[in-house]
Amino acid sequence: MSTDGLTFGRWLRDARIDREKLTPDQLTLLEAGFRFMCRCEGGLLLAARSEPFPLALPIGIEGGPDRSVRWHQPRHGVQAAERLFQGNGAGCSPSHGRSASRQDVAALRRAGRSVLDYASESLALGHSRFYRANVEGSRFHGSFVPLHEEVRTRPGPAESRLGGRRGGGGGGDRHGSGNGGDEPARTAGGIFFAPTQYAGAFLLLPAAVSWLATAEACCRDEYGSLRRGLLTSIFALVVGLQRIFHLDQMEDLGFALLTGGWKCPSRHLVGGWRSHLTWHEVDRFCRRTSPWDWIAGQDAVVSFDEHSIPRWTHKFRIPKGFVTTRNKYMRCEKLYYGYDVIHDRYLSVRGTPGCVELRDVALRMTQEVLNGGTPRHLHALFDAGAGKSDANVRALLDLAEETRPLDVTLRACRYPSRVKIWKALPAEEFVAYEEDGVCVGAPPKEIRLADTRTTLKGETDDQAVRTIVCREVVPGPKKDRWHPLYTTSQAEPPEVLQTFRMRQHHEQGYRVGVHDESLNAVPCGYDKDSPNRKCPRFHRGPLQMIGWLAGLVYNAIADLADTLPDRYHGAHVSTARRTFFNRPGQLYLTPNTLIVQFNRFAEQDALLPLIDSLNHQSLHIPWLNDRRLVISPTPTGSQPRAGP
């Protein structure tokens, strides 16, 4: 290759490099390379026709001609290797008896830096094919195996269209792309391969697609961040991502596909989407995604209670409320849920400041369940916070009287004057019952129930409220415990007591939310951009949205557990995550299908009916160019298994 009369501009045109697309640094670097080429009378053979040398991955190494392994190589052996191109002609003829020499020239880049975009476009390389048989032979020793670079992942926007490593930026991924990156380049075989640690999370993809469609109909998307923000918030709860800033260390490509893009999302975009949620759009989304079908036309038992979220800020002066886990008044915010204690499902939610109490939202949330769920009969259960004053008790009782299919049971506040009246009841009015002890082998405990009536303040005896007084007999020197209940139900006292005790399912749901879904880490409700930090505005949207997504994920996992064998019914979120969701697998991407293959694990047979059902649905993923989702377990026997 002669350089006589060759100019830098002509050299760029011959190499099919668009000068307008180059940055000043790239232009300076190429001009220096051109001068070096002219001085050396050759080199930098950009028009090489041969294949690029593939880099090594930590799977295995090629052996000798007999395909046997020669030696074990350390993992760091070729990590600094960069892209190599083969070229012709070193400028002189070969020695006698030797073949023509070949020149290997490294790309002009530093280790760990992405190569220029023009490199892969201007080099006329042949088509490469990747066959699975090439990586499963016995000749690989578990260390290194060469793979085409389109199949493996690499840092940089040009060499890996699936996005690389950690980085900043405010886009949908960590390289600033709002749509989560471009679609990856495929090999000639039409398949892209990537490992993932969250193969089981794809089992919840149908539910996530449904919630996304509802959110797109309810919420505006002025910044193009709704899809990534919503899906990231959902699957962070599924895989156990406890804090939003943990996204900085997320590098799993399966998580990237789950969250609506080709690259892992950025916490800046997700946090920005959350902070711009408005309360009326969130309310609309919550109503449309509420699982009213569980109670529609049924006899429902619904518990209403609060979950207090402590806030430790000293910069903003926000209202205080009573936090039971701390047993004190402190800065907090609250989430009020309606919970179906028969089916263990969340039905409704409302976010409030810490100063709002259960009695302030009890009527509104009861009406919401009646209007949205339309049950045949509703038995509403409340803790003592709904009846701190007799006026609050009377308001609930009047609502039950006006609404025929409604009964109300709430725990009465144990004011000293009322407790004195209940303790003065004659002994013959109490009926003794025996219950199981506190544990296996413990002696049974005795409770005594009395069916009486209590006159509220400012009312006559004709308006007295039915009261079930439960006296728990404590052996020894300790005092007996008294548990009074106000109720409009006409059932027998033991039945009323057992129904009210079902509230513990609701409390258990809060415990699962805190420990398994990081419910206490939901976004704060006070507006950090308020002009007066001593009286910040309350921003209900982010608080209520993430709190409700935690409830939806809780419901979806319960639905999934009901389709599994009986031993998994009622499994907690962490149990399902540990057993099924956080399972390694392989991803195969064809032009029209996303194939998720589980690595073999002990409990995979329990998923076979569910996998067949999901594959039969033919779910199409909108953000993957409408590809169909196919989930496949690893066969455990020699006989193939029939599909759905």
DSSP-assigned states of every residue in 438-482: SSTTPPPEEEEEEEEEEPPTT--GGGPEEEEEEEE---SSSPPEE
Last residue of a domain, one of 496, 521, 546: 521
Percent of the chain past pLDDT 90, that is, above it, reads 60
Query: Confidence class of residue 25 from pLDDT cuts 50, 70 and 90?
Result: confident
Q: What is the mean pLDDT of residues 1-16?
A: 75
Three-class secondary structure of residue 423 per DSSP: helix
Three-class secondary structure of residue 339 per DSSP: strand
Beta-strand relationship, 465-472 and 481-487: antiparallel
pLDDT at 55: 45
Tell me, yes or no, whether 483 lies in a domain.
yes
CA distance 436 to 350: 37
Tell me, yes or no, whether 456 lies in a domain.
yes
Three-class secondary structure of residue 215 per DSSP: helix
Q: Which residue has the higher pLDDT, 232 or 478?
A: 232
Q: Give the length of the chain.
A: 644
Total domain count, the chain? 2
Question: Where in 538-600 does DSSP place strands (E)?
Answer: 585-589, 593-598
Alpha carbons within 13 A on the beta-carbon side of 243: 4
Tell me, yes or no, whether 620 lies in a domain.
no
pLDDT at 132: 40
Q: Which residue has the higher pLDDT, 150 or 491?
A: 491
Last residue of a domain, one of 493, 521, 549: 521
Of 358, 398, 396, 395, which is closest to residue 380 (Cα–Cα)? 396
pLDDT tens string 51-81: 444 444 444 444 444 544 444 544 444 444 4
Tell me, yes or no, whether 284 lies in a domain.
no
Q: Is there a contact between 430 and 450 (Cβ–Cβ < 8 Å)?
A: yes
CA distance 215 to 226: 8
Residue 522 reports pLDDT greater than 50: yes
pLDDT at 287: 95
Structure tokens belonging to residue 257: 């596909």
Q: Is there a contact between 331 and 320 (Cβ–Cβ < 8 Å)?
A: yes
pLDDT at 191: 74
pLDDT at 2: 56
Tell me, yes or no, whether 351 lies in a domain.
yes
Tell me, yes or no, whether 440 lies in a domain.
yes
Beta-strand relationship, 345-353 and 299-310: unpaired
Alpha carbons within 13 A on the beta-carbon side of 381: 23
How do the residues of the chain divide into helix, strand and coil, expressed in percent and rounded to 5? 35, 20, 45
Q: Which residue has the higher pLDDT, 161 or 6?
A: 6
The CB density around residue 139, as the number of other CB atoms within 10 Å, is: 15
pLDDT at 442: 87
Residue 364 reports pLDDT greater than 60: yes
Tell me, yes or no, whether 204 lies in a domain.
no
pLDDT at 142: 38
Helices (H), 111-196: 118-122
pLDDT at 438: 83
Q: Which residues pair with 620 in a beta bridge?
A: 628
The CATH number of whichever domain residue 470 belongs to comes to 3.90.350.10
pLDDT tens string 126-167: 333 433 433 333 333 333 334 334 334 444 333 333 444 333
Range of the domain at 34: 1-47
Last residue of a domain, one of 521, 541, 567: 521
Tell me, yes or no, whether 312 lies in a domain.
yes
Query: Confidence class of residue 40 from pLDDT cuts 50, 70 and 90?
Result: low
Query: Confidence class of residue 637 from pLDDT cuts 50, 70 and 90?
Result: low
pLDDT tens string 415-467: 999 999 999 999 999 999 998 888 888 888 899 999 999 999 999 999 999 99
CA distance 526 to 538: 5
Query: Confidence class of residue 506 from pLDDT cuts 50, 70 and 90?
Result: very high
Q: Is there a contact between 243 and 233 (Cβ–Cβ < 8 Å)?
A: no
CA distance 357 to 369: 19
Q: What is the mean pLDDT of residues 182-197?
A: 68
Residue 265 reports pLDDT greater than 60: yes
Q: What is the mean pLDDT of residues 350-378?
A: 95
Q: Which residues pair with 586 in a beta bridge?
A: 195, 597
Mean of the per-residue pLDDT values for the chain?
Answer: 81
Q: Comparing 95-109, 286-300, 442-456, 540-554, which segment has the lowest mean pLDDT? A: 95-109
Residues with Cβ within 8 Å of residue 358, at least 6 apart in sequence: 304, 305, 306, 336, 382, 383, 385, 386
Query: Confidence class of residue 122 from pLDDT cuts 50, 70 and 90?
Result: very low
CA distance 397 to 486: 9
CA distance 172 to 229: 9
Q: What is the mean pLDDT of residues 115-120?
A: 38
Q: What is the mean pLDDT of residues 191-199?
A: 87
